[in-house]
Amino acid sequence: NAGVTQTPKFQVLKTGQSMTLQCAQDMNHNSMYWYRQDPGMGLRLIYYSASEGTTDKGEVPNGYNVSRLNKREFSLRLESAAPSQTSVYFCASSGQFRWTGNTIYFGEGSWLTVV
């Protein structure tokens, strides 16, 4: 039972390069999320998808785009990476959109460094 799987686990990018973080869940969840975590800043929501076919901005969406490819998959794209995007990225999912109180399940994280 894999839960939430995200790839790659580690990535180094040069400023201006683009890349996509992939995320898939096998729990038949409706809602998926992308967070970033920086030291002393906690978890900040980048984008979320309350259900298949919808996406919405979170707290810190600038510089990112997302695609809810299907119910299982939710990708995060950095079009032109900047050093400020160096962070740990977590994908997560929940059965229903979070404010109904469903548990959020997190992937193991992707460590991204932009030089």
Partner 1 sequence: GQQVMQIPQYQHVQEGEDFTTYCNSSTTLSNIQWYKQRPGGHPVFLIQLVKSGEVKKQKRLTFQFGEAKKNSSLHITATQTTDVGTYFCAGSEKLVFGKGTKLTVNP
CB atoms inside a 10 Å sphere around CB 109: 16
Give which of 29, 25, 10 is closest to 89, Cα–Cα: 10
Of the pair 31, 75, the CB lying nearest partner 1 is at: 31
Nearest Cα neighbor of 45 from 32, 55, 54, 58 is: 58
Is position 103 an interface residue for partner 1 (rule: CB under 8 A)?
A: yes
Of 59, 69, 83, 84, the one binding partner 1 (CB under 8 A) is 59
Verify binding: residue 48, partner 1, rule CB under 8 A. yes
Compose the 28-47 pattern: x for residues touching partner 1 by CB under 8 A, - for all others. Answer: -----x-x----xxxxxx--
Closer to partner 1 at the Cβ: 84 or 103? 103
**Is residue 109 a contact point for partner 1 (CB under 8 A)?**
yes
Which residue type, as a one-letter code, is found at position 74? F
Chain-centroid distance of CA 112 in Å reads 12
